[in-house]
Amino acid sequence: MRVKFWGTRGSIPSPGLRTLRYGGNTICVELRTDTGQRLILDGGTGLRELGRTLVQEADALDLNILISHTHWDHTQGLPFFAPMNRPENRIIIYATSGTDKDVMEIFTQQMDYANFPVSLEERPGQIAFREIGEEEFTIGDIRVQSCFVNHTILTLGYRISHGNVCIVYVTDHEPFAPSLYHSNRVCPDLDDIVHAGDRRHVRFLAGADLVIHDAQFTAAELERRRGWGHSSLEYAVEVCVAAGVKQLAFIHHDPDRSDEELERLEAAGQAYARQLGSELKVFAAAEGSEIELPETGIALATPVLAQTPSLDTRVHARILVVDDEPAMMQYLSMVLMRDGYEVLQASNGYEALTLVRERSPDLVLLDVMMPEMDGFQVLRELRASEEFQELPVIILTALTAEQDIVRGFEGGVTDYIDKPVTPAVLRARVRRWLVSRENR
Ligand SMILES: [Zn+2]
Ligand SMILES: [Zn+2]
């Protein structure tokens, strides 16, 4: 399998003398198998140059683009993607919506008259959209597994396998907890990961030959930018080491990061992996660079047409918010109602349990520190009942110590979010558990 980086930058294109070596285009990666099949990951501004190359290569193209999420830096190249302008070309765009608009509406809007001179429907190419969530599907004989990661809008990571080669693409993603492992473990293993979200993330990367992972920040920068939805280089190295990955290409470089700074980070990332006792190879993805991952002993599957179950992200759900602080209750309710959810309110544990039984909410957002009956007790009551074993319960609390997070998961909580929470993170995490009822 060949991997080529057409764009490596996060947030906004940053061309100029400071970014010559690693590139200024936003994120776009091309994968090509030994059998000549191609997958495109994300459509940042790097997609434009890839499109120019593709139209010179063949008269009729069959292209599949996997979009992680619909933020600008991952989609801005699409209006300029030359293959869209030829009727012989077939393009399928896979994405998850994350809002009350479906994927096709989002891209139609991107190219509507106010934003761009040529609309999507005026493009001669055969363009189709597949709305996906967490699932497994095939494109030709490439196997794709998608998994929600932790960003400010619903975002998918992709695990791509062909023959014996496995590549995982994860951007944009923020660590679920401040540290990966319990602080008191000497030789930690997978079970010693503090937050269930991080544990699941490591499982998704497990054993990959190459992980292309968000590392927009350093650990110190991430401290100041919690809630922005990005990883630190240290975290990217830690999860790859924990997952037994062979190579880490870190990507989604901060637009302010110069070539010299990226070179220093590359050395620091590599040194950190060694310090953790790992053979992991760490490097910064550079625009225009290519990697070859040898494929051997490939059992060719019969090519099948891409088929994915449709996913309705326009979720109309009922959410119970449990919080004893009126200002917090008002804030949370307002954020959720803006997404069209019906909101039930409880200001203590007893009220919460009554409302769960009487009104059957689809999800519970649960504060911990409340008078009389705290959130952990509510959780225990709920999980003790057969009926509410599967009900998504998200703890939202200012109790951010490791032992509290562990206590939450041991009590059967679905997810654990630190207060204060930004509206974007709250919306993304709630929607994530509403659209994906599996793998809790
Ligand atoms: Zn991004
Ligand atoms: Zn983003």
* For the chain, domain boundaries: 2-292, 318-435
Cis preceding linkage at 172, omega within 30? yes
Q: Which tokens is 363 given?
A: 């999800």
Ion ligand 2, residues whose Cβ is below 5 A away: 71, 172
Decide if 362 contacts 317 (C-beta within 8 A): yes
Decide if 9 contacts 255 (C-beta within 8 A): yes
Ion ligand 1, residues whose Cβ is below 5 A away: 10, 73, 172
Question: pLDDT of 141-183, one tens digit each?
Answer: 999 999 999 999 999 999 999 999 999 999 999 999 999 999 8
Decide if 157 contacts 149 (C-beta within 8 A): yes
Decide if 125 contacts 260 (C-beta within 8 A): no
CA atoms within 13 A on the CB side of 139: 26
Superfamily of domain 2-292, CATH level 4: Ribonuclease Z/Hydroxyacylglutathione hydrolase-like (3.60.15.10)
In this chain, the answer to whether the domains covering 2-292 and 318-435 adopt an identical fold is no
* Ligand nearest, relative to CA of residue 45: 1
Residue in the block written with tokens 């096709």: 104
Q: Tell me, in angstroms, the distance from the centre of ligand 2 to residue 354's CA.
A: 38
Q: Tell me, in angstroms, the distance from the centre of ligand 2 to residue 63's CA.
A: 23
The residue-averaged pLDDT of 319-329 equals 97
Q: Tell me, in angstroms, the distance from the centre of ligand 2 to residue 114's CA.
A: 23
Decide if 45 contacts 78 (C-beta within 8 A): no
Q: Tell me, in angstroms, the distance from the centre of ligand 1 to residue 309's CA.
A: 26
Model-level pTM? 0.94
d(CA 192, CA 19): 39
The residue-averaged pLDDT of 278-287 equals 98
Q: Tell me, in angstroms, the distance from the centre of ligand 1 to residue 173's CA.
A: 9
d(CA 392, CA 319): 10
Q: Tell me, in angstroms, the distance from the centre of ligand 1 to residue 188's CA.
A: 31
Cβ–Cβ contacts within 10 Å for residue 35, how many? 15
- Vertex 294 angle, CA 290 and 296, to 5°: 155
- Vertex 368 angle, CA 363 and 373, to 5°: 100
d(CA 389, CA 68): 31
pLDDT of the residue at 439 = 40
Question: pLDDT of 97-106, one tens digit each?
Answer: 888 889 999 9
Q: Tell me, in angstroms, the distance from the centre of ligand 1 to residue 42's CA.
A: 10
Q: Tell me, in angstroms, the distance from the centre of ligand 1 to residue 228's CA.
A: 10
Helices and strands, counts by H and E, the chain = 11, 19
Averaged confidence pLDDT in the chain: 93
Superfamily of domain 318-435, CATH level 4: Response regulator (3.40.50.2300)
Residue 182 Cα to chain centre, angstroms:
24
End-to-end CA distance of the chain: 32
Q: Tell me, in angstroms, the distance from the centre of ligand 1 to residue 350's CA.
A: 42
pLDDT of the residue at 310 = 43
Q: Tell me, in angstroms, the distance from the centre of ligand 2 to residue 151's CA.
A: 7
Range with lowest mean pLDDT among 54-63, 87-96, 187-196: 187-196
* Ligand nearest, relative to CA of residue 43: 1
* Ligand nearest, relative to CA of residue 252: 1
